[in-house]
Structure 1
Amino acid sequence: MTPADLSLTVLRAVRRAVDDGALRVDVPPRAKVERARPGGAGEYASSIALALARPAGRSALDVAGILEERLRDVPELRSVEITGPGFLNFTLRGDADADLVRGILAAGTSYGHGAALAGTTVRLAGGDGPRAVVVAETLARLLRSQGAHVETGADDGERIRVRPGGPGDPDGYGEYGEDVTRWAFLRAAPHDRALDPAPLLVPHERNPLFRVRYAHSRARRLLVNARQLGFSPEPGDCDGAGLPGLLRDHPPVLLSAAHHRAPDRVARHLEAVADALLAFQHAVLPLGDEKPSAAHRSRLALAEAAGTVLAGGLSALGISAPDRI
């Protein structure tokens, strides 16, 4: 269950409460669901009860209680708790992680693509300067991934060159190459200056582009190492150390980046996924004489899913994801 799925589940509970006559409010267009803050209860939280309290003429705790009754039977939820003045806190079932991984592996690098912007037409101009061209091209890709119809100055699918290239540089990306140039342009927020590309050439952990691409290559290598040890990935329940939550956040991040014309949100999210995967990788394969277990197979599947998300996110930014670095 993704945050978007959970938001729709909360809205359905509101609608049921209204239909039952338990609440007299207009059903809002959306229910905000966020990752639970450190020290909070559960994995996700919603303040929908606080937002509905005044129009319902009830206390937020009363509204939360009404909604909690209608969320108890949701199979993907392990528990629903009410905390503070009326926050709803959600813990997903353990096998929800397995379903998440299966969904990612089935969708491949298209995981997170959707139809939220279907019926929307967006006209994008290439803009002046190399960065404006790269940003426009990337936004077109993100918007189309969410179902929008995008009109640009170039033919559909045509690659826009950053600047006229010369001998040995036909695509016009200069001495830094395409991947580094695009990350330098896209990682900075649109209102900030582009990053200095020179440090992005250095294969070091302080280099965020290197970390993201290296994490993807590690996910691919783990699959090779596992085959050598005689086992393969199989989605299941495992302690992903926060990685499943980040993977669930990928679809709303793509949508947010498209909606707000902010490709830097995708880059920042990829950094978070990469850091979590690099911290998690050491628990994936058996150690020493340890035999592969169900836990190892499920961890391997989670790592593969994380690598898939990294590859898809890099592709959305027009950046390659090599299997080996």
Structure 2
Amino acid sequence: MTPAELSQAVLTAVRDSVEAGDFSAPVPDEVTVERPKNKVHGDYATNVALRLAKPAGRPPREVAQVIAERLAAAPGVAKVDIAGPGFLNITLDAASQGELALKIVELGAAYGTNDTHEGLRINLEFVSANPTGPIHIGGVRWAAVGDSLARILKACGADVTTEYYINDAGVQITKFGASLQAAANGRPVPEDGYVGDYIGDIAKKITDEEPGVLELPDDEQLARFKERGLELMVAEIQRSMDEFGVHYDVWFSEKSLHDSGAVGKAVDRLREQGHVFEKDGAVWLRTTDFTDDKDRVLIKADGETTYFASDAAYYLDKRDRGSEVAVYMLGADHHGYVNRLRAIAAAAGDDPNRNIEILIGQFVKMLRDGQEVRLSKRAGNIITIDDVIDWIGVDAARYSLARSNTDSTLTLDIDVLTSTSNDNPVYYVQYAHTRMCGVLRQAADRGFDKGAAEDFKPGLLTAPQESDLLGALGEFPRILATAAELREPHRVARYLEQLAGTYHRFYDSCRILPMGDEEPTDLNRARLWLAEATRTVIANGLALLGVSAPERM
């Protein structure tokens, strides 16, 4: 019996009690069951009686008693106890609890998926670093978190479009082109330009492709370095993302908003909503009507549109493409964007509490030999995505970057993340997976397997460590749904670490394979089912984080 099935059984007991006139109260849409911290309180607990007592006009323990009598008769329930003011502590029979292993193995990659976000169309934009240099460590964090979040939301039924916003319009692109031009001509990079070996590399590639580019007039030369340099830098970013296992559905050009007239149309649409005004020759959006700290300029007095106007056009474009929710994942230096983006949504007539979400990620530091690593030879003054991959590998990078709440600064220790010890969280989880694969291989080498489903005897899984492991496996769908709802992929990673620890304790206490020349028993086979179920859940969880589940290490 899964937690979801038990929840439904409790809900049925409540509904039957109300329909029988045992008490009168609105039947809830759902009932939550949780694993109690103390094992003596049973396998699961629910506070449904406390929730129903007030509308029923009855003491909670009386309501609990009525529900308990009906629930105790449900298939798979061994007993129901009433604790404290009216909590229901539920103990499942061993066979019912053990059947979960069979269900997990049969469902395979589908176990844990749910419909909590069914039909919700989400545009998920993450990283979106300026295409003027390699992806830096902050962007790498969002690459790991954003891609994991997309996978989790899809597993919960959402229709997700992942998107990278290419900031290919504005002065930063001109500075980038000027930096390339200077490098190609052997001149110092402009004071406000971009530095690092990558600038020289791109400049050389352009001059190798087009030997005559340096013979062009200065303004034409600059235009060519801007255009081709941008193409090469975007291609480099795409290559890095691919190597990191991140594949976007859409690469969206800011310049296309200007070329198509979308920016001007966005200003007109906001004007129709009544929130645009003119002052000092400029066109403004009255964002202070929507909790922003000041009104924002859309069009300057000289007729030039602002970045804010592009932001407005981009949000409207996302909504026009059918996204119900536009999720922006921004860096730690973008706190000021939260209210202004929410104001755009509100000014457009949307609900800023539903149609737009802004997630802010904090900084990342890397340590080696106890000292912070600050510089990259290639990028000059930042740690790049390629540096991270070279130092610790894709799996360790993705897992470690996604396993912590993005509200906090993250420190990655290169020495720990390249070690084969339990201090390395990704190694700890992956090792649990390989350990299970090893057990299954050993069983096959000895000529037996877990057997057919109809021969599985779940009632034999009665040891405390087996019960703990089954309980932990049953939590996976809830963890996944919560991670999607709160936009927190780290919940999946932390769950996997706890599950790996629970499995290791089971493995150390409950012998899976027979000793020596002993013939395998039904208990050995039942434990193989449990090991295979655990392997499945860990593989599913790692896949959601974009991390491999190796069979050997």
| TM, length-normalised to structure 2 | 0.55
Match of 2:412?
A: 196
2:513 is aligned with 1:285: yes
- Indicate the percent of aligned positions where both proteins have the same amino acid: 38
Aligned to 1:183: 399
CA displacement at 1:195 relative to structure 2: 4.2
Q: What is the match of residue 42 of structure 2?
A: 42
Matches within 5 A, 1:11-160: 11-38=11-38, 40-127=40-127, 128=129, 129-153=139-163
**Matched residue, 2:221:** none
Gaps of 5+ in 1: 155-160
Tell me which of 232, 237, 240 is aligned to 1:164: 237
Larger Rg: 2
Residue 197 (structure 1) shift: 4.8
Given the superposition, is the C-alpha separation of residues 310 and 130 from structure 1 closer, same or farther in structure 2, using an over 3 Å criterion?
same
1:311 aligns with 2:546: no
**Compared with structure 1, are the counterparts of its residues 104 and 39 closer, same or farther at alpha carbon in structure 2 (3 Å cutoff)?**
closer
Deviation at residue 73 of structure 1 after TM alignment: 2.1
The residue that corresponds to 1:295 in the other structure is 523
Q: For 2:474 and 2:431, how far apart are their aligned partners in 1?
A: 21
Structure 1 stretches of at least 4 aligned residues deviating more than 4 Å after TM superposition:
169-173
SS of alignment partner, residue 70 of structure 1 = helix
Cα displacement (A) at 1:241? 4.8
Q: CA deviation at 1:153?
A: 1.4
CA distance in structure 2 between the aligned counterparts of 1:52 and 1:170, rounded to whole angstroms:
53
Deviation of the 1:205 alpha carbon: 1.7
Aligned partner letter, 1:255: A
- Secondary structure at the aligned position of 1:6 is classed as helix
Quickly say closer, same or farther: Cα 1:134–1:191, change in 2 above 3 A: same
CA contact (8 A) 2:156 2:481 kept: yes
Q: Aligned in 2, Cα 1:170/1:140: closer, same or farther, shift over 3 Å?
A: closer
- The answer (yes or no) to whether the contact 2:98–2:470 under 8 Å persists in 1 is no
Q: What is the SS of the residue equivalent to 2:50?
A: helix
- Cα deviation, 1:90-113, whole Å, max 9, x if unaligned, reads 111211233211111111122111
- After superposition, the C-alpha distances for 1:104-160 in whole angstroms (9 at most, x for unaligned) are 111112211122221222221114522123212111110110111112216xxxxxx
- Mean Cα displacement is larger for which, 251-260 or 232-241? 232-241
Q: Secondary structure at the match of 1:124?
A: strand
The 1-side partners of 2:9 and 2:123 are apart by 33
The one-letter code sitting in structure 2 at the alignment partner of 1:53 is A
Paired letter, 1:115: D
C-alpha change, 1:214 and 1:148, in structure 2 (3 Å) is same
Task: Give deviations 1:2-54, integer Å, cap 9, x for gaps.
Answer: 22222222122212222222221112232221112215421100111111111
2:482 is aligned to: 256
Instruction: Give yes or no for contact 1:101–1:301 (8 Å, CA) kept in 2.
Output: yes
Deviation of the 1:217 alpha carbon: 0.4
Q: Normalization by structure 1: what TM-score?
A: 0.91
Measured on the aligned residues, the alpha-carbon RMSD in Å equals 2.2
Contact 2:76 2:92 in 1 (8 A): yes
The residue number in structure 1 matching 2:298 is none
Distance across 2 between alignment mates of 1:37 and 1:177: 37
User: Which residue matches 1:158?
Assistant: none
Counterpart of 1:181 in 2: which secondary structure? helix
| Secondary structure of 2:71 counterpart | coil
Which residue pairs with 2:429 in the alignment? 212
Matched position secondary structure for 1:262: coil
CA contact (8 A) 2:2 2:97 kept: no
Partner of 1:268: 494
C-alpha separation in 1, matches of 2:243 and 2:517? 52
Task: Indicate conservation of the 8 Å contact 2:120/2:158, yes or no.
Answer: yes
The equivalent residue for 1:157 is: none
Cα contact 2:31–2:48 (8 A) shared by 1: yes
